[in-house]
Structure 1
Amino acid sequence: MRTTLKLFLTFVLLSGNLVIAQDKDEIVRDIVKEATENSQLENLAHELVDVIGPRLVGTPQMQKAHEWAVEKYKSWDIAARNEQWGEWRGWERGITHIDLVYPRVQTLEGKQLAWSPGTSKKGVTAELIIIPEVKDSIAFQQWLPSVKDKFVLISMNQPTGRPDSNWEEFATEESFEKMKEARSAQTRAWRERIGKTGLGRRTLPVALENAGAAGVITCNWSRGFGVNKIFGAYTKKVPTIDLSLEDYGLLYRMVEYGDQPKIKVVAESKELGAVPTFNTIAEIKGTEKPDEYIILSAHFDSWDGGTGATDNATGTLVMMEAARILKKIYPNPKRTILVGLWGSEEQGLNGSRAFVEDHPAIVENVQALFNQDNGTGRVVRLSGQGFLHAYEYLGRWLEKVPQDIRKHIETTFPGTPGGGGSDYASFVAAGAPAFSLSSLSWAYWDYTWHTNRDTYDKIVFDDVRSNAILTAILTFMASEDPQRTSRERSVLPISQRTGQQRTWPSPRKPNRKGGLE
């Protein structure tokens, strides 16, 4: 009788485990089905990237994005809020027009840098001048009055507008090597030229505007056809403009050959004073362990050379789509699912650092955080971030991910903790198990990272859809896991750079008053 009862109980237990396993498999299948047959990614991308556009912190477009996200979550029956964490220098980009007006007329391709002062609607017309070769900083100060009422070209004129890959494909080996050697020599000479002024990239534009320059002209080429990095201006009174390599080179050569070129710049940007800055937080409340959290993480802000499509609209879309799918397929998670769309990542992870600082109880109870940032590509790397036992739980969760997605992912355990780079690092520094879903490049660093070409057409939706499926399944598995994830840290290796043992990164304070102090 006892043997029969024992066998019966064993059968019930095994049957129960089998049902649970079947339920998990069914939910995973439904996640994949929803993501592939009812994807919202293209619509979300159009609304965020095309209609709202770039999301520079402190701009009306950033505020519109926060409001749009809250409404979109609510349409999916997901609670959401915009949580203020600081203030930023408010600024709005206006119409920018740059024209060569002498010795001939041509409209030039360029962008006013972020937070650059504007011009009147009539614009500014002036001749151009190049930073000269000087003996030392004293000689530079003697030359400085020459810039009054002139636009100053402060970047090196690149010897070629062709990326190295193009040279490698078509040039002879001798010609390619000759070009690279000449470029290296020219780059060293230009660095020495700027160095002898006694000023750096931040202080040189300020010195020029203080000397009465009409404006500052740069060319921050990104080593690809037609692509430039677009960052922020350091001037406070006169416009800073970045020109395409092709047009910058045109003006530079005209100055060198004594053609006395003139350009007209109209830049109708507006200063808006101090404006509040936010994180957008969405929440699907847990039913069994509501005070434990899985966080889906992406930064919401961007630079505004393009429309911030792959940095980081794609990461944002992954997290929003994963949340939508989970709410529909898995509406009653065991643990609470949060989605953090962080502000001002680009200026130093400020939004996520503020969240970590403001919500220690949540950070203390994070089961896992998944962050996606580096472009549109499918996820191909996952590191344990230095957490000693990360391979145990991440390995269990990954087993449920379809093979056609999982096969691309290279794992590194225990790995080393990220000290920066994206928002997961804010949580890692606080000891929370936070992981970067690192993507295939798709020429990210040269062609879309912080560039004027980071636009909707660069999104690879098959890869983004794959990442949404991956994120949703990992979140589901993390929520269902009966075990709490371990936070035990590995012993970090010796740094090859310093020869000292690496230490765990420390939490850093956010800048809560950007551009205002």
Structure 2
Amino acid sequence: MRNALLAAVAALSLAPAAQAADLAATTLALRDKALTDTTAWDVTESLTTEVGARPQGSPGMDRARDWGVAKLKALGFENVHVETFETESWLRGAESAEVVAPYPQKLQILGLGRSTPTPAGGIEAEIALFRTLDEMLAQPPGALKGKIAVVTQPMRRTQDIGGYAAAVRVRGAGGEAAKRGAIAYLARSASTDDTRLPHGGGGFRAGIPMAALSTPDAELLERMAARGKPVRIKLSLQSTFREKAPAYNVVGEIKGREKPEEVIVIGGHLDSWDAGTGAVDDAAGIGVTTAAAKLIAGLPQRPRRTIRVVMWGAEEQGGSGAAYAAAHRDEVANIVVAGESDLGAGEIFSAKLPKGSREHPAMKAFAAAVVPLKVLVSREPAEDGGADVDGLKDLGTPVVQLQQDAGRYFDLHHSADDTLDKIDPRELAQNVAVWTAFVYAVADSDIDFRKTASAAQ
């Protein structure tokens, strides 16, 4: 009897070590399979080819909803469904801009989301040009009365999104121009490219027409203004705006075998702007996270916990993350971790994990799998899991931050150049490998990120 008890105790003490070894081995095997799997590419190609651009509130978004349901079902996901909500919809109409004096030339622009349309015949006015946003903000109320405010502050290229965070302030400053009397607002594109393709995106509703200038045209206006003669622009922007329009989050699951009520939430956003086909922003994120879940589902046995893929339907114009969090508020205690892929297909170079979790065996298994992929597992905890999981984070859900190299992303996003040919299949596969390793390590372990965070206090 004594020997039997000793053997049982020994077996129990070895069980966690054996489980950790199995987890690590399977994580490595999944990583290797992901590097050659084509699911992410196939999904991304399908969305951009069969649907194309899909702004919130457009027929393209309705097609994307139906595409998402069909694709998840075809890939074997369970509990596939659509969660409908309402949010804003701004849709572009005809647009044009030109310098009428002193040197007549056409300008390349894209209206910014929430822009007010011009009268049918357009508007014509002298510009007030500022090379930095701070220069414009230094102007007193009324100083820009009757003028078109132009801010030409450039965006810095960075590996992370730091450069964009500064540039997007310029894009969103139409309201500040209006406070100072401007009748319209033009901002240098929040982009790092040197083509004549403008980059659009969302603005704040300011009551005046707003548009993004291509980067060469912003510099063209600087040169014109430097000659000392008044520069006049004719601007025509047409658009439609609805405060409430139907929107959709498309959901599919890989049910866990032991604790199906415990859920890992991952995904990308299904909507896009309309200039390109939304390949890097964010068909790639849809492809990466869908492929990661599909690879894990192909194992001989399902992981312990449920993996839920969400195709968020209104990230660009806002509302999908808040709607998802509101709909799942009562489930938050069982959402283990959440994360969104939304920075194209550039290689992941850093992983920021939930606080205090680096030394857990599951995260050690993840690190062992991704360090050979040149991914640094940061000592800094994750703070931003993506715009569409902010609502869950605010309710207490831990988030993961898998940081991609953004060096080229802002050459492309929100522009006509956001197309499938810009995606490198090898880099896309590296993303899938990293996401697969993380999701599996969490889904088939007992890691509790809330407890690791508490212990780290």
TM-score range, shorter chain: 0.7 to 0.9
Residue 111 of structure 1 deviates from its aligned partner by 1.0
Give me the whole-angstrom Cα distance separating, in 1, the residues matched to 2:209 and 2:193: 26
Aligned to 2:292: 322
Residue 283 of structure 1 deviates from its aligned partner by 1.2
Aligned to 2:167: none
Residue 335 of structure 1 deviates from its aligned partner by 1.8
Letter in 1 for 2:150: S
Residue 264 (structure 2) pairs with residue 287 (structure 1): no
Aligned to 2:352: 383
Deviations 1:264-318 (A, max 9, x none): 5454433356202232221122232111112223344455565544343332221
Aligned to 2:175: 202
Give me the whole-angstrom Cα distance separating, in 2, the residues matched to 1:32 and 1:380: 18
Residue 191 (structure 2) pairs with residue 225 (structure 1): no
| Structure 1 counterpart of 2:341, from 348, 372, 376 | 372
Aligned to 1:169: none
Deviations 1:144-176 (A, max 9, x none): 3xx2xxxx4412456xx89799xxxxxxxxxxx
Aligned to 1:81: 81
| Structure 2 counterpart of 1:339, from 301, 304, 309 | 309
Larger Rg computed on CA atoms = 1
Residue 115 (structure 2) pairs with residue 116 (structure 1): yes
Residue 72 of structure 1 deviates from its aligned partner by 0.9
8 Å Cα contact 1:76/1:327 also seen in 2: no
| Structure 2 counterpart of 1:154, from 142, 149, 163 | 149
Give me the whole-angstrom Cα distance separating, in 2, the residues matched to 1:459 and 1:239: 33
Deviations 1:315-364 (A, max 9, x none): 2221111123233345733321111233444567x433433333234321
| Structure 2 counterpart of 1:130, from 121, 128, 131 | 128
**3-state SS of paired residue (2:359):** helix
User: CA 1:298–1:393 in structure 2 vs 1: closer, same or farther (change >3 Å)?
Assistant: farther
Letter in 2 for 1:381: S
User: CA 1:162–1:241 in structure 2 vs 1: closer, same or farther (change >3 Å)?
Assistant: closer
8 Å Cα contact 1:123/1:264 also seen in 2: no
Deviations 1:234-254 (A, max 9, x none): 567653232223224434554
User: CA 1:15–1:223 in structure 2 vs 1: closer, same or farther (change >3 Å)?
Assistant: closer
**3-state SS of paired residue (1:391):** coil
Residue 424 (structure 2) pairs with residue 460 (structure 1): yes
Residue 435 (structure 2) pairs with residue 471 (structure 1): yes
User: CA 1:241–1:310 in structure 2 vs 1: closer, same or farther (change >3 Å)?
Assistant: same
Residue 11 of structure 1 deviates from its aligned partner by 9.3
Deviations 1:465-486 (A, max 9, x none): 1121222233233222256555
- Provide the aligned C-alpha RMSD in A: 4.5
Residue 255 of structure 1 deviates from its aligned partner by 5.8
**3-state SS of paired residue (1:489):** helix
8 Å Cα contact 1:417/1:425 also seen in 2: no
Residue 27 of structure 1 deviates from its aligned partner by 8.0
8 Å Cα contact 1:418/1:428 also seen in 2: no
Residue 61 of structure 1 deviates from its aligned partner by 3.6
User: CA 1:238–1:382 in structure 2 vs 1: closer, same or farther (change >3 Å)?
Assistant: closer
Give me the whole-angstrom Cα distance separating, in 2, the residues matched to 1:275 and 1:164: 35
Deviations 1:23-73 (A, max 9, x none): 98468536633x344403333323334554455444444443333212211
TM-score, normalising length: structure 2: 0.76
User: CA 1:38–1:420 in structure 2 vs 1: closer, same or farther (change >3 Å)?
Assistant: closer
Deviations 1:418-471 (A, max 9, x none): 267644544344333321111233344x53465665443443331221121222
Letter in 2 for 1:115: R
Letter in 1 for 2:39: Q
Q: Which runs of 5+ in 1 are unaligned?
A: 166-193, 195-199, 494-517
User: CA 1:271–1:431 in structure 2 vs 1: closer, same or farther (change >3 Å)?
Assistant: closer
The alignment covers a number of residue pairs equal to 437
8 Å Cα contact 1:400/1:473 also seen in 2: no
| Structure 1 counterpart of 2:325, from 356, 361, 366 | 356
Residue 208 of structure 1 deviates from its aligned partner by 4.4
Q: Which runs of 5+ in 2 are unaligned?
A: 159-169
**3-state SS of paired residue (2:263):** strand
8 Å Cα contact 2:384/2:401 also seen in 1: no
Give me the whole-angstrom Cα distance separating, in 2, the residues matched to 1:23 and 1:256: 64
Instruction: Tell me the percent identity.
Output: 24
Deviations 1:103-155 (A, max 9, x none): 676442221112323457x7536353336999974773xx73xx2xxxx4412
Aligned to 2:40: 41
Q: How does 1:426-441 map to 2 (within 5 A)?
A: 426-441=391-406
Residue 366 (structure 2) pairs with residue 398 (structure 1): yes
Give me the whole-angstrom Cα distance separating, in 1, the residues matched to 2:246 and 2:397: 28
8 Å Cα contact 2:127/2:232 also seen in 1: no
Aligned to 2:375: 409
Deviations 1:183-230 (A, max 9, x none): xxxxxxxxxxx9xxxxx7414236647xxx4x4433245454237653
8 Å Cα contact 1:322/1:472 also seen in 2: yes
User: CA 1:289–1:356 in structure 2 vs 1: closer, same or farther (change >3 Å)?
Assistant: same
8 Å Cα contact 2:55/2:91 also seen in 1: no
8 Å Cα contact 1:82/1:279 also seen in 2: yes
